[in-house]
Structure 1
């Protein structure tokens, strides 16, 4: 959009958003722009008049703060947003999150909006873009929309590049779990453990019985375990981004936690530390035999995929072991707050899912007990092969 006719000093440009941008040539001979935009042309004229007065008085200073009036294009704007983004915990984005955002930007947003000016974004363009993304990629589509939504929110609220957010599709940023994750039974868990190499058997047990994330369990070190006191300290996690190993804080503030090691696992932890854990307090419990570094997910998966078939659970993933532990804890009677602490979750949503699963299991057992009472005297209880006697008489 061309500049408006020059006033006695400087020029004013009306942006696609309807706001006005002021610019002028300073005493240094360089072109300068105001570090903010204006609601009306009159406001911009007043700003230029003030700048001219400063020049005449000899007190003018060039704008030193970054200017947002350059009318940035969508891709560089979002890229800058990603780099400067601060989480709710007042921390920079986690490396894996940052890499994921950049992938979404490059794959889904840039091909359509890469050369579009931010102030030119509008709801119709966003709606068309969203409708043309592959429906089979529901999670990626929701994540891409969420990224655009958040970046445009900043463009509206902080940088004043837009009057309103162009992302207005209800529910477009929400994702649903594609498939249900069925936890492993205790018997299946044991079959999987026995089918793994001895040095990796404890990975399976800790992932399940302590409900650890993969990045948490593979960053465990000798100093984090105290099996004699039944304590396990989780205060770090490891991720791999573009082949680089990055050790940092757990996924959330709640992720830093002290866990009770189930007593039946204590002998296994002691034996593993004696036979397989690297030497020294910082020795890794689980490490790559070739690299000596934290165990890679692909290395575990190579063995795990064989073991899960031995247990008749081809659908199970290593992360599914965490769901197994959460379900077992819920069935053991853990409250919502106890589950949150156990899982390292800062919200109640995940904990409630497992509590609901536990309640459903309790209702099923109660229903079966009533069926026993109304039918046969003996039945197999919950498939564990043990008979439950039903006494029909009253005492």
Structure 2
């Protein structure tokens, strides 16, 4: 039975399973009725009192509209926490798959456990210093990456005027000491490695060790990117090696994601040292996939080569050379060391490597394809002298 009162009424209700609830309801002057079911009579009475107060203050709006407004307010409040904004930052930036996964890991393991529920405007330099001090010193490189991401998120919040100003930078927090110093490969070691590779992969080692191409760039090179007469190589694309099949931009045959280099500076033109032009030309004739868009290093089904197969072949070759420490990426370090030894300026190294650098930007623009060709010729001359000395032994 409903119990009437000055404003509205409360009705005790019992379900078939014996559960008791209380429905509070009232009518507005236009005859529209509003109700709410609550678990206790006290809660039902309190709701009616609150509704009557809103009517008396001329602040009443339909309960459903108020619920929607409250949900919207909570959503906005959530987006103004560090965690809420960080999620939006991650989804709205159009990140590459690998970068997105890396940022996700940094957020989940390093940043959000400390900052997730903190309002953006409440994050201070002191908070950041305390957070950074709590990170384990054994993961220095990861800690530096986490700090860079944290800074980027806060800077974006400042740009969107969600905070007045991002906290000041902590000098050196975004960099980590280099723990591993790579020893470049010698010509003798490279000769053993090349000889130990399958014939169709020998050029792969040459382009990594003497030109400085990245593994992902090499795996996506096509006939149309190569001028076999002068040894010019245009770097326009790369593959993301661990992207899931079916992802946007994925190769239909292998599931790999094909994208442009990570930065605009990665799009570049480099040259093969002249002594290796016969190998390049022979490779184009005998090992590259057919057609103008045929891959330079195809897999067995003319799609991209398996990274596992490449790594297995390379591992055996480097061990034969006595360099079990030399990764495929270290071959690129060898190439850039050679370029530096042959007089490459900082700008020319930036151009040949495809690195972006704010500090080198001014001189970077003076690097030209003609100078890169001269560098390749100088490296080639040094290699030819070494080769002649080997033949004379």
**TM-score exceeds 0.5:** yes
Q: Deviations over 1:283-334 (max 9, x none)?
A: 1111333x64323443322222221121112221111111111111222223
Deviation (angstroms), 1:118: 2.9
Q: Is the 8 A contact 1:148 1:167 kept in 2?
A: no
Out of 321, 324, 328, the position equivalent to 1:311 is 321
Residues 1:125 and 1:327: Cα distance change in structure 2 (over 3 Å): same
DSSP-derived class of the 2:137 partner: coil
DSSP-derived class of the 2:138 partner: coil
- In the other structure, the counterpart of 2:184 is 183
Whether 1:75 and 2:83 are equivalent positions in the alignment is yes
Aligned residue runs from structure 1 range 147-296, under 5 A: 147-160=149-162, 162-166=163-167, 168-244=169-245, 245-289=256-300, 292-296=302-306
Q: Give the Cα–Cα distance (whole angstroms) in 2 for the partners of residues 229 and 115 of structure 1.
A: 59
- In the other structure, the counterpart of 1:323 is 333
Consecutive aligned runs of 4 or more in structure 1 exceeding 6 Å deviation: 8-11
Q: Deviations over 1:347-380 (max 9, x none)?
A: 366999xxxxxxxxxxxxxxxxxxxxxxxxxxxx
RMSD value, Cα: 3.5
Deviation (angstroms), 1:335: 3.0
Q: Is the 8 A contact 2:347 2:360 kept in 1?
A: no
Q: Give the Cα–Cα distance (whole angstroms) in 2 for the partners of residues 326 and 337 of structure 1.
A: 12
Whether 1:333 and 2:336 are equivalent positions in the alignment is no
Deviation (angstroms), 1:150: 1.4
Unaligned stretches of 5+ residues in structure 2: 1-53, 246-255, 365-385
Out of 286, 290, 309, the position equivalent to 1:299 is 309
Q: Give the Cα–Cα distance (whole angstroms) in 2 for the partners of residues 297 and 177 of structure 1.
A: 26
Unaligned stretches of 5+ residues in structure 1: 1-5, 12-23, 37-66, 86-91, 353-381, 387-395
Q: Give the Cα–Cα distance (whole angstroms) in 2 for the partners of residues 181 and 284 of structure 1.
A: 30
Aligned residue runs from structure 1 range 46-65, under 5 A: none
Residues 1:9 and 1:261: Cα distance change in structure 2 (over 3 Å): farther
Deviation (angstroms), 1:236: 1.0
Q: Deviations over 1:215-264 (max 9, x none)?
A: 11111011112212322221111113443421111232222222222111
Instruction: Give the TM-score normalised by structure 1.
Output: 0.66
- In the other structure, the counterpart of 2:373 is none
Deviation (angstroms), 1:96: 2.1
Out of 105, 109, 112, the position equivalent to 2:111 is 109
Q: Is the 8 A contact 1:232 1:261 kept in 2?
A: yes
Residues 1:9 and 1:101: Cα distance change in structure 2 (over 3 Å): farther
Deviation (angstroms), 1:110: 2.5
Q: Give the Cα–Cα distance (whole angstroms) in 2 for the partners of residues 116 and 298 of structure 1.
A: 44
Aligned residue runs from structure 1 range 20-99, under 5 A: 29=65, 70-85=78-93, 92-99=94-101
Structure with greater helix share of residues: 2
Q: Is the 8 A contact 1:288 1:299 kept in 2?
A: no
Residues 1:299 and 1:133: Cα distance change in structure 2 (over 3 Å): farther
Q: Give the Cα–Cα distance (whole angstroms) in 1 for the partners of residues 127 and 303 of structure 2.
A: 47
Q: Give the Cα–Cα distance (whole angstroms) in 1 for the partners of residues 232 and 177 of structure 2.
A: 35
Q: Is the 8 A contact 1:146 1:173 kept in 2?
A: yes
- In the other structure, the counterpart of 1:129 is 131
DSSP-derived class of the 1:300 partner: helix
- In the other structure, the counterpart of 1:372 is none
Q: Deviations over 1:141-189 (max 9, x none)?
A: 11111111211222234232x3443575332112232211221111111
Q: Is the 8 A contact 1:25 1:32 kept in 2?
A: no
Instruction: Give the TM-score normalised by structure 2.
Output: 0.66
Q: Is the 8 A contact 2:235 2:266 kept in 1?
A: yes
The total of aligned residue pairs comes to 299
